[in-house]
Amino acid sequence: MAVENGGSLENGSGKKPKAKSSEEMLLIVLRLLALGATFSATLVMALNKETKTVVVPLGGSNSISATLSAKFQHTPAFVFFVIANSIASLHNLSLLLLRLFGKKFEDIKGLGLLITISDMVMVALVSGGAAAAASMAELGKNGNSHARWNKICDKFDAYCDRGGGALIASFAGVGLLMVLNGLSTVNLYKNPATR
């Protein structure tokens, strides 16, 4: 086997090594990390909910209690965030499975280009969702004194913290997706069969 692999002068430069090279491992690890980031962003934001009961004394022994809740569905930007990150994590999962178990799909013409373009679309989508959610989170944290919009993060601490965590995960996912996009573009040049 070693002689066959070493004698690549006769076979030409198209022979792939049998073991996974370090570059393939890097791509798999990055894809796994991106999957983890987008998936955790989706989960944390989708399960983000906080309820607070406010008791207002009415004088004497009467009091009414009002229940205020903060849910992610109340803000359209967060809904978009959840949807965008779930699409991206589905994309990451399918590409990870393709890379791990899809040896026979490797030489389909045009697949490399499709993956690159799909990665670019995912980057744009997730960054759009993260930016919208970040602007709403900033509004919730600082309020807007000119529009008389009060900040809500001082009342709903845990909601804000969890939302912030989901945002950080999503931004990390965007960065990883960008790196993966660059690497797969470079791969496009190296592997002419899938161009």
Q: Considering only 24-32, 38-46, 142-150, 160-168, which stretch makes contact with other proteins by CB under 8 A?
A: 142-150
AA letter at 20? K
The only residue of 99, 106, 185, 187 in contact with other proteins, by rule CB under 8 A: 185
Least separation, in Å, of the C-beta of 191 and other proteins? 12
Draw the binding track, 58-87, toward other proteins (x: CB under 8 A; -: no contact). Answer: ----------xxxx--xxxx--x-------
Q: How far apart (Å, rounded) are the C-alpha atoms in residues 169 and 46?
A: 13
> Which segments of the chain does DSSP mark as H helices, in order?
2-6, 8-11, 22-46, 76-101, 111-142, 157-190
Contact status: 134 vs other proteins (CB under 8 A): yes
Grouping H, G, I as helix, E, B as strand and the rest as coil, residue 19 is coil
Contact status: 97 vs other proteins (CB under 8 A): no
Contact status: 41 vs other proteins (CB under 8 A): no
AA letter at 176? L
Contact status: 98 vs other proteins (CB under 8 A): no
Q: How far is CA 161 from CA 45, 54, 116, 132, 141, in A?
A: 11, 21, 34, 17, 10
Identify which of residues 93 and 121 has a Cβ nearer to other proteins in the complex: 121
Least separation, in Å, of the C-beta of 132 and other proteins? 4
Least separation, in Å, of the C-beta of 193 and other proteins? 13
Give me the half-sphere count of Cα atoms (radius 13 Å) on the Cβ side of residue 144: 9
The only residue of 88, 130, 172, 180 in contact with other proteins, by rule CB under 8 A: 130
Angle formed at CA 150 by CA 144 and CA 154, multiple of 5 degrees: 115
Angle formed at CA 159 by CA 156 and CA 146, multiple of 5 degrees: 60
Grouping H, G, I as helix, E, B as strand and the rest as coil, residue 71 is strand
Total number of residues that touch other proteins (CB under 8 A): 40
Contact status: 138 vs other proteins (CB under 8 A): yes
Identify which of residues 70 and 82 has a Cβ nearer to other proteins in the complex: 70
Give the footprint of other proteins on this chain (CB under 8 A).
68-71, 74-77, 80, 113, 117, 120, 123-124, 127-136, 138-140, 144, 146-150, 152, 178, 181-182, 185, 188, 195
